[in-house]
C-alpha cells in the first residue's frame, strides 16, 4: 500500500481548546508542530459549548486555589488525582489570560478590566467563578482559531483520522508518532514525531442520539492510548446532563437546562404529574439525572423515556418577570432549542418540558500525571505520549463542575504542549528504527481492513453495527445501570466485535465512509467494554449515573476510603480492571461543603412554602442580582 | 402516493455523479424532517457508504452545510419538502457524495493575519460590539456561494486558493475592530484583503451569511471604505 511519510517534533491530535492550546504552546517554544483533526479545525465540543469558563477569583472576588481544589475534589467524591486537581486550581487564571491574548473577550468585566463572573455559582461550584461570553462557545472557538493560525510553526491537516500510535519495539514504553488516514486525499500518512499529544477526548457518540456533543466523539483517544500501553481511569464516570430534549429526533439529546437555572420553584414531575424532585437549584447535575433515570426505570417515565422539567411555577407573581428576564438574557440559545422542539408556549415557560438525561462528557480518561504525561499500568511515564482536555483522566472524579472543561482544556493543553516541546528537544534526530516494526504492523492491519473486509450482507455494514452498539449502551451502561444488564452489554459488545471483523468495508481510499465507520466502531466497542467492566467493578452509585441495585446509603458520615477504577489492555486487546486508592479530603472541608449544600436546599424549601408576597421580594432580588453581573463594571 | 416523501440525493465520486432517490420513512407525517434526519436514515438503511459531514445537530459547528435545491444550507436545521434535492456544496472542491474539501479556506489565512498585542483590558466601543457580532460566524462557508472573488479560484483540491471570500474578509475586519490592534495591524489587514482580491466587492451586490450576520454592513462596506482611504 502506498503511503506518505512526515517528520515533526510534536504531533497534536485534535483541534479544540486542548489541541489548539497544546499546539500553540509547543510552537511558541520552537517545536515544529503538526495538528491532525478528523473534523475541520476548531469544529469541536469547545466550539459548540455554552462557552462558560471557570476562572478562579474572577472579578478579584475572594477565592483561593484551595477553595477551588476542595470544591472539585469533594464534589467528585474524592476519586480524582490530588496533583492534577491542584494543577488545575493553580492555572485556571493564567489559562484564561492566555485565551484573552488569543482574542477572547469576556461578556462583562470590572473597571480594572478583570473578567467578571456570572453572579450565580454554576453547577456545583461553591463560588461564583464562571465567566460567560456573548456568543458562547463560538467566541472561545475563534480564539482557538487564532492560536492555530497565527504561528508559523504550526501546520494542520483537516479530515485526518489518527488510526493508531507507533510504539517502540525495544523493551520500554515509548511512543514515536502515528498512522493517519487522510480521507480527502485518499492517503495513509505515517507521521514520525518525537512527542504526541492526544487532545481529542470524548466518547458520547456511544449514546447517540442521546447526546448533545459532536458526532466525532467516538472514544478514539482512549482506545488508541490504551492500545499503545496507557492505563485508563474512571471510565465508568460518564457525565449525563439531566435536562435534554426527549423528542423529536432532530432535537433529541440537546441540552435545555442546568439545575442552577431551574429557579426556586422549578420541579421535576413524573409521567403522572407527581413531583419527584423539588429544590433543583441546590442539586448537582448528577443528582437530577439520577432522579429521572430512577423514575424511568420504575415505569414512571414518558413514552420517550423521560420526565418533565416544570419551570412554570417560577413565572408566578412579581418575581416571575425577573425570572423570565434572567432566562431570556442568559439562556437564549437554549430557549431556541425548546421552541424548535416543544413549541412557543414551552419556550415561554407556560408548559413543562419533556426531558431526559443525555451523555455530555467523559470525566475519566487516560491516566496521566499533572504535566500531562500518559502513564502505563505501573504508573510509569510513557515517553513521548501526552494527553490533555477531555482525553485526560483524573481531574473530575465522579462529578464535573459546570464550566470547568473549557478551563481544563487550556490548563492541560498548554501544560502538555510545554512538556512535549521540552521532551522533543531531548531526542536526537538519529534513525528511530525502534518504531519500524510497529509502523509496518499498523499499515498492514489497516490495509487488510480495506482489502479483505467485504461481506455482502448489508446488515453487516459498520454503521449498522454502530447503531446496534449505541442502543445497547444506552440501555446497559447509560444513566441507569444494574449488574445483570451490564453483563448482557458485555456479551453484546463481544458479539459485535466479531461481527465487525466480518463487516462490509468498501475498497478505495478517498473518503471511504465504511472504513471511517469501521475505525470508529472499533474504538467505540473498546470504550464500551471499558465502561462496562469499570462500572461492574464499582457497585455503589457514585457519579452521574445511578446503580439501580445499589444497597449503600446515599449520605453517610462514615466514609469508606475513595478509590478509582483503572482499565488496562493487554497485547490481545483483553481489558482488565483494578482499583486505585485515592486520598480522602479532610473531614472538615467535606462537612463544610455538605452543610452548605444542605443549607441551600433548606432555603429553597422554605422559600417555596412562604406566602407569595414574601417569595416575590426574596426571589426578585436573587434573579435581578444574577442578571446584573454587569452591575460592578 | 401521498405518503411518499422522496428526496433526491446526488452522490458523487471520481467516476462521476448519480442521483439516488430515497424514500424517507416518517414516524410523524405532520413533521417535516431536517435534511440531516434524511441523510442519517438513508445511511442507516440503504446507503451505508454515503459520505456526508455533520457534528452538533444544533446549528453551531458549521460542518453540515450542503446545497439544498442548489442553495447552501445547514443540513441539521433545514426542513425539507417532498422532492427536494441534496447535493455537495458547489463552491468547494468535491471529495465524495456530499463531502467537499474545506481545508484551503482556513489555510489561505494561516500565518497571514496580523498578531494583535495591545492592552488586554477591553474598552467598550462600537468597534467591540461589532467584533463580538462577527464572532457569531460558525464557519459554515455558506457565504462562499455566488461570491465573485471566490469564483476566480480554480475549485480544485490540488491547487491553493489565490482569491479570498467573505469569510476571509470577516477575519480581516475582525483584526481591524479589535481594540488590541495597532494602526499597523489594521493597515496590514487591509493589504491582505486587497491581495485576496476584495476589489471585486466594489461591483458586487453583496454576500449572504448562513447565520444572518449583516456581512455587507459589518464587513464589506467598512473594508472598502478603508481601502479607498488608504489609496
Could you write out the three-class secondary structure of A144-211? HHHHHHCCCCEEEECCEEEEEEEECCCCCCEEEEEEEEEHHHCEEEEEEEEEEEECCCCCHHHHCCCE
Report CB contact under 8 Å: B122, A249.
no
| Nearest-CB residue to B61 (from A47, A462, A464) | A47
Tens of pLDDT, residues A358-402: 999 999 999 999 999 999 999 999 999 999 999 999 999 999 998
Distance from CA of B89 to the nearest CA of A (A): 15
User: What pLDDT does A630 receive?
Assistant: 44
Chain B residues within 8 A of A214 when measuring between CB atoms: 55-56, 61
For chain B, residues with pLDDT lower than 50 are: 1
Of A233, A239, A180, the closest CA to residue A45 belongs to: A239
Pairing of strands A381-387, A187-198: parallel
Low-confidence winner among A49-53, A294-298, A452-456, B219-223 (lowest mean pLDDT): A452-456
Mean local confidence (pLDDT), A403-426:
97
Phi, psi of A621 (to 5 degrees): -65, -45
Q: Alpha-carbon torsion A379, A385, A388, A390, what sign?
A: negative
CB-based contact B63 A47, cutoff 8 Å: no
Is residue B106 less than 8 Å (CB to CB) from chain A? yes
Give yes or no for a cis peptide into A248 (omega within 30° of 0). Answer: yes
Lowest-confidence range among A19-28, A52-61, A135-144, A556-565? A556-565
Average pLDDT score, chain A: 92
Burial class (CB in 10 A: 0-12, 13-18, 19+), B33: buried
- Put simply, whether B158 touches A (Cβ < 8 Å) is no
Under DSSP, the state recorded for B219 is I
CB–CB contact B28 A101 (8 Å): no
Choice among A7-21, A244-258, A272-286 with the minimum mean pLDDT: A272-286
pLDDT band of residue A133 (cuts 50, 70, 90) is very high
Q: Which residues of A touch B64 (CB under 8 A)?
A: none
Task: Report, in this order, helix, strand and coil percent for chain A, each rounded to 5.
Answer: 45, 20, 35
Model confidence band, residue A79 (pLDDT cutoffs 50, 70, 90)? very high
The per-residue pLDDT for A153 is 96
The confidence score (pLDDT) of residue A596 equals: 80
CA torsion angle for A577, A205, A501, A186 (degrees, to 10)? -130
Residues of B in contact with A152 (CB under 8 A): 111
Amino acid A553: pLDDT: 52
Q: Residue A431: pLDDT band by 50, 70, 90 thresholds?
A: low
Window 9-38 of B: residues touching A by CB (8 A cutoff) are 13-14, 28, 31, 33-34, 36-37
Would the CB atoms of A250 and B36 count as touching at under 8 Å?
yes
* Closest by CA position to A176, among listed A152, A156, A194: A194
Give the torsion through C-alpha atoms of A353, A356, A360, A366, to 10 deg.
Answer: 160
User: Is residue A24 over pLDDT 50?
Assistant: yes
Q: Report the percent of chain A where pLDDT is more than 90.
A: 73
pLDDT band at A631 (very low <50, low <70, confident <90, very high): very low
A385 DSSP β-pair partners: A196
A470-526 per-position pLDDT tens digit: 999 999 999 989 999 999 999 999 999 999 999 999 989 999 999 999 999 999 999
Contact: A138, B61; criterion CB under 8 Å: no
Test B62 with A149 for CB contact under 8 angstroms.
no
Q: Is the peptide bond before A482 cis (omega within 30 degrees of 0)?
A: no
Tell me which of B30, B56, B141, B159 to substitute to probe the interface with A (most A C-beta atoms closer than 10 Å). Answer: B56
Q: Which of A97, A159, A250 sits opposite B37 (nearest CB)?
A: A250
pLDDT bucket at A615, cuts 50 / 70 / 90: confident
Binning pLDDT at 50, 70 and 90, where does residue A571 land?
confident
pLDDT score, position A632: 36
* Full-model pTM: 0.96
Q: Which of A1-5, A315-319, A595-599, B139-143 has the highest mean pLDDT?
A: B139-143
Among the partner residues A109, A185, A464, nearest to B48 by beta-carbon distance: A464
Q: Is B121 part of the contact surface with chain A (CB cutoff 8 Å)?
A: yes
| Among the partner residues A137, A152, A248, nearest to B111 by beta-carbon distance | A152
Whether the predicted pLDDT of A145 surpasses 70:
yes
- Closest partner residue to B132 among A105, A184, A463, by Cβ? A105
- Name the minimum distance, in Å, from the CA of B112 to any CA of chain A: 7
Candidate from B50, B61, B136 with C-beta closest to A48: B61
Q: Which pLDDT score is estimated for A460?
A: 87
**Contact A150/B14, CB-based, under 8 Å?**
no
DSSP type of residue A292: H
Which residue in A347, A103, A584, A336 sits closest to B135, CA to CA? A103
> What three-state secondary structure class fits A13?
strand
Q: Looking at the predicted structure, is the pLDDT value of residue A633 above 60?
A: no
pLDDT at A140 over 90: yes
Amino acid at each position: 500500500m502506498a503511503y506518505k511519510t512526515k517528520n515533526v517534533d510534536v504531533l497534536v491530535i485534535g483541534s479544540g481548546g486542548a489541541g489548539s492550546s497544546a499546539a500553540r504552546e509547543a510552537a511558541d517554544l520552537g517545536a515544529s508542530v503538526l495538528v491532525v483533526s478528523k473534523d475541520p479545525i476548531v469544529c469541536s465540543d469547545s466550539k459548540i459549548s455554552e462557552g462558560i469558563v471557570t476562572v478562579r477569583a474572577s472579578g478579584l472576588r475572594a477565592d483561593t486555589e484551595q477553595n477551588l481544589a476542595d470544591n472539585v475534589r469533594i464534589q467528585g467524591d474524592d476519586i480524582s488525582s490530588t496533583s492534577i486537581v491542584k494543577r488545575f486550581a493553580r492555572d485556571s487564571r493564567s489559562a484564561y489570560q492566555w485565551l484573552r491574548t488569543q482574542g477572547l473577550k469576556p461578556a462583562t468585566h470590572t473597571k480594572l478590566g478583570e473578567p467578571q463572573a456570572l453572579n450565580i455559582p454554576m453547577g456545583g461550584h461553591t463560588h461564583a467563578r464562571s465567566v460567560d461570553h456573548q456568543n458562547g462557545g463560538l467566541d472561545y472557538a475563534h480564539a482557538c482559531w487564532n492560536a492555530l493560525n497565527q504561528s508559523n510553526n504550526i501546520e494542520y491537516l483537516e479530515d485526518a483520522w489518527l488510526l493508531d500510535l507507533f510504539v517502540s519495539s525495544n523493551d520500554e514504553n515509548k511512543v514515536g508518532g502515528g498512522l493517519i488516514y487522510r480521507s480527502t486525499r485518499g492517503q495513509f500518512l505515517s507521521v514520525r514525531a518525537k512527542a504526541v499529544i492526544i487532545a481529542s477526548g470524548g466518547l458520547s457518540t456511544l449514546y447517540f442520539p442521546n447526546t448533545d456533543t459532536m458526532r466525532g466523539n467516538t472514544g478514539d483517544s482512549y482506545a488508541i492510548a490504551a492500545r499503545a500501553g496507557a492505563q485508563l481511569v474512571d471510565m465508568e464516570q460518564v457525565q449525563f446532563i439531566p435536562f435534554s430534549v426527549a423528542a423529536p429526533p432532530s432535537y433529541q439529546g440537546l441540552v435545555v437546562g442546568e439545575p442552577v437555572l431551574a429557579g426556586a420553584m422549578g420541579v421535576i414531575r413524573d409521567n403522572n404529574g407527581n413531583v419527584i424532585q423539588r429544590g433543583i437549584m441546590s442539586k448537582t447535575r448528577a443528582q437530577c439525572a439520577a432522579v429521572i433515570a430512577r423514575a424511568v426505570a420504575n415505569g414512571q417515565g414518558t413514552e420517550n423515556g423521560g420526565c418533565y422539567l416544570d419551570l412554570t411555577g417560577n413565572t408566578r407573581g412579581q418575581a416571575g418577570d425577573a425570572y423570565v428576564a434572567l432566562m431570556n438574557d442568559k439562556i437564549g440559545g437554549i430557549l431556541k432549542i425548546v421552541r424548535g422542539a416543544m413549541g412557543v408556549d414551552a419556550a415561554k415557560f407556560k408548559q413543562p418540558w419533556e426531558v431526559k438525561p443525555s451523555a455530555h462528557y467523559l470525566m475519566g480518561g487516560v491516566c496521566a500525571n499533572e504535566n500531562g504525561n500518559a502513564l502505563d499500568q505501573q504508573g510509569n511515564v510513557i515517553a513521548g505520549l501526552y494527553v490533555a482536555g477531555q482525553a485526560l483522566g483524573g481531574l473530575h472524579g465522579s462529578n464535573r463542575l459546570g464550566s470547568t472543561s473549557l478551563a481544563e482544556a487550556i490548563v492541560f493543553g498548554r501544560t502538555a504542549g510545554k512538556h512535549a516541546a521540552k521532551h522533543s528537544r531531548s531526542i536526537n534526530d538519529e534513525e528511530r528504527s525502534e518504531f519500524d516494526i510497529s509502523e509496518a504492523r499498523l499499515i498492514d492491519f489497516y490495509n487488510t481492513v480495506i482489502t479483505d473486509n467485504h461481506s455482502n450482507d448489508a446488515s453487516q455494514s459498520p454503521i449498522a453495527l454502530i447503531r446496534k452498539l449505541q442502543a445497547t449502551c444506552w440501555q446497559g451502561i447509560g444513566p441507569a445501570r444494574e449488574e445483570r444488564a451490564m453483563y448482557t452489554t458485555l456479551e453484546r459488545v463481544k458479539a459485535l466485535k466479531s461481527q465487525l471483523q466480518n463487516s462490509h468495508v468498501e475498497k478505495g481510499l478517498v473518503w471511504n465512509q465504511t472504513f471511517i465507520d469501521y475505525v470508529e466502531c472499533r474504538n467505540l466497542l473498546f470504550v464500551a467494554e471499558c465502561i462496562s467492566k469499570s462500572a461492574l467493578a464499582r457497585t455503589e452509585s457514585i457519579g452521574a449515573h445511578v446503580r439501580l441495585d445499589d444497597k449503600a446509603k446515599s449520605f453517610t458520615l462514615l466514609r469508606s476510603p475513595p478509590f478509582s477504577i483503572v482499565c488496562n489492555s493487554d497485547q490481545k486487546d483483553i481489558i482488565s480492571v483494578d482499583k486505585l486508592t485515592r486520598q480522602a479530603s479532610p473531614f472538615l472541608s467535606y462537612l463544610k461543603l455538605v452543610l452548605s449544600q444542605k443549607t441551600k436546599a433548606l432555603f429553597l424549601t422554605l422559600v417555596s412554602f412562604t406566602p407569595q408576597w414574601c417569595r416575590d421580594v426574596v426571589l426578585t432580588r436573587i434573579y435581578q442580582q444574577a442578571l446584573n453581573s454587569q452591575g460592578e463594571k | 402516493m401521498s405518503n411518499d416523501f422522496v428526496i433526491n440525493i446526488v452522490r458523487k465520486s471520481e467516476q462521476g455523479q448519480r442521483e439516488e432517490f430515497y424514500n424517507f420513512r416518517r414516524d410523524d407525517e405532520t413533521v417535516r424532517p431536517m435534511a440531516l434526519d434524511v441523510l442519517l436514515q438513508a445511511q442507516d438503511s440503504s446507503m451505508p457508504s454515503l459520505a456526508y459531514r455533520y457534528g452538533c445537530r444544533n446549528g453551531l459547528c458549521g460542518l453540515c452545510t450542503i446545497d439544498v435545491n442548489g442553495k447552501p444550507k445547514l443540513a441539521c436545521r433545514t426542513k425539507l419538502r417532498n422532492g427536494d434535492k441534496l447535493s455537495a456544496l458547489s463552491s468547494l472542491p468535491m471529495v465524495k457524495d456530499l463531502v467537499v474539501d474545506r481545508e484551503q479556506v482556513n489555510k489561505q489565512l494561516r500565518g497571514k493575519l496580523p498578531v494583535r498585542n495591545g492592552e488586554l483590558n477591553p474598552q467598550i466601543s462600537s468597534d467591540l460590539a461589532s467584533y463580538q457580532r462577527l464572532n457569531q460566524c460558525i464557519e459554515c462557508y455558506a457565504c462562499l456561494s455566488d461570491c465573485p472573488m471566490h469564483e476566480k479560484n480554480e475549485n480544485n483540491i490540488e491547487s491553493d486558493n489565490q482569491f479570498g471570500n467573505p469569510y476571509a474578509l470577516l477575519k480581516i475586519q475582525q483584526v481591524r475592530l479589535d481594540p488590541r490592534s495597532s494602526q499597523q495591524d489594521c493597515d496590514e489587514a487591509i493589504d491582505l484583503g486587497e491581495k485576496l482580491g476584495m476589489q471585486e466587492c466594489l461591483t458586487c451586490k453583496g454576500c449572504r451569511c448562513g447565520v444572518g450576520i449583516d456581512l455587507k454592513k459589518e464587513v464589506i462596506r467598512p473594508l472598502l471604505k478603508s481601502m479607498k482611504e488608504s489609496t
